Structure 1
């Protein structure tokens, strides 16, 4: 069966698309995650080999095992501790929080003096991070996955029938570990405090699936580009010494 490509003038089409009713971006700071004292250390679940000498922190104390001059970093993971790409769709939960009475409305004044009605939308972000502590000798301790969460509210043009599309576009995690000396023995430390800060950027959109009538041309595939082989190249010769103009170098 021969199928002829569609050509000619424009046609009126009915398409089903996601219409964006409103769209905002915002930077968000997760409330500081602070863990203080040996009791808090136990909740972090650091995986460290046994310490050479017993200390109050025990084998799970990165300060006791690694000593001073430590490097601390943190990174996003799933709930079992596998590293993830925080910008991948669905990697970090980012979704609307349903409200019992629906989205409340409010009146807002625009710069030109007119007013607009917007809806209050609550959005939840949550995920996990892992903290890794290392010393110059290459030894390290890694924490259990640490949960974090943030709830925010937005005022958007989000009338009934719209849904909220939320995505994380940037993610940063910083951790600061404080150790203190134990007794009078030099080089012996124990855990004192761990502070974790998380910053992220997000897109929040109010959308609805609509059907639109448009006038447009049908698309056609472009011609395939042929592969062009590069020309053959030969190494340069040394004509001053070879073949030496037939006199064999004499």
Structure 2
């Protein structure tokens, strides 16, 4: 047998059927200063002896609190004195219930109104509302940075690119190439998904503001016969971020180059001569 004769060899390669390159820009925004209306319900028991005063609740922090206060005198011969904001007093007797609507509640206290050491037993409840403001860095001093990341804020180099499967198959579109020439292309639907993390540097400190998910769907007309599939390459990624609305909002612009190829697996046969080992 002649080992030096040409023999057929087969291998699989990607055959590029069509391709396109385009610049893509994605705009995102994040509101920083937003007020959240919070509702709290608080309740507890009252146990007083003599004329001792007990603080039931007080506001924490610079909050403007409003809502309803209810105090019930369940047992005991001595009246219960309800004190609002350390000055306004209301007296209730056994079996009575006091309900007040207050727009600027700071403190709620009770004390017994008697000279003996007898006990007074009761209950209280509050349904209050207040606004929490979520703020971040001062736009006058904070420098913003942004980058592609995973869902946890860790930097990544690219984003997810995939074709959206169409049923039963890709739609074919008739396209006019010139005055007398037409061709048929397929509509390829591409989904881009990823995350952008925004961080701020202020006074030599750096901390994360947020990680924002995003996704974009785009349609392309390509030569994409049955059996072909898409290959995506994302390059030249640039992210810019800036404050708007006096620091209450952040705008993000993500720009990158998107290269798409429609490929198919193709078996190629060629004649080749095997290389004989060097026996010396």
TM interval, short-chain normalised: 0.5 to 0.7
Q: Measure the CA separation in 1 of the matches of 2:275 and 2:262.
A: 29
Give 1:215's aligned residue: 271
- 1:61 aligned onto 2:127: no
Measure, in 1, the Cα distance between the counterparts of 2:215 and 2:153.
16
Q: Secondary structure at the match of 2:217?
A: strand
8 Å contact 2:32–2:134 — kept in the other structure? no
Relative to the length of structure 2, the TM-score reads 0.57
Deviation at 1:36, TM superposition (A): 3.6
- Counterpart Cα distance in 2 of 1:150 and 1:82: 21
The answer to whether structure 1 residue 26 and structure 2 residue 26 are counterparts is no
1:141 aligns with 2:207: yes
CA–CA distance in structure 1, aligned partners of residues 160 and 145 of structure 2:
22
1:196 aligns with 2:252: yes
Structure 2 Cα separation of the partners of residues 174 and 27 of structure 1 = 16
CA distance in 2, matches of 1:74, 1:138: 17
SS of the residue aligned with 2:210? coil
Look up the SS of the partner of 2:34 in the other structure: helix
Deviation at 1:206, TM superposition (A): 1.1
**Structure 1 unaligned spans of 5+:** 1-6, 42-52, 87-91, 181-190, 221-250
SS at structure 2 position matched to 1:15: strand
> Which string of whole-angstrom CA distances, capped at 9 and with x for unpartnered residues, describes residues 198-227 of structure 1?
11111211111121112356689xxxxxxx
**Normalised TM-score (structure 1):** 0.64
Q: 1:119 aligns with which of 182, 186, 190?
A: 186
Q: Distance in 2 between matches of 1:219 and 1:144?
A: 59
**After the TM superposition, which residues 44-193 of structure 1 pair with which residues of structure 2 at under 5 Å, given as runs?**
60-63=135-138, 68-86=140-158, 92-111=159-178, 113-135=180-202, 137-178=203-244, 180=246, 191-193=247-249
Ranges of 4+ aligned residues in structure 1 off by more than 6 Å: 53-57
Consecutive unaligned residues of structure 2, counting only runs of 5 or more, are 37-60, 64-130
2:243, 2:250 within 8 Å by CA — same for their partners in 1?
A: yes
Are the equivalent residues in 2 in contact too, given 1:27–1:199 (CA < 8 A)?
Answer: yes
1:14 correspondence with 2:86: no
Superposed displacement of residue 134, structure 1: 1.5
How many residue pairs are counted as aligned between the two chains? 185
**Structure showing greater Rg:** 2
Q: CA deviation at 1:172?
A: 1.2
After TM superposition, give the deviation of residue 13 of structure 1 in Å. Answer: 2.0
Maintained 8 Å contact 2:199/2:210: no
CA 13–34 in structure 1, closer or farther in 2 if over 3 Å, else same: same
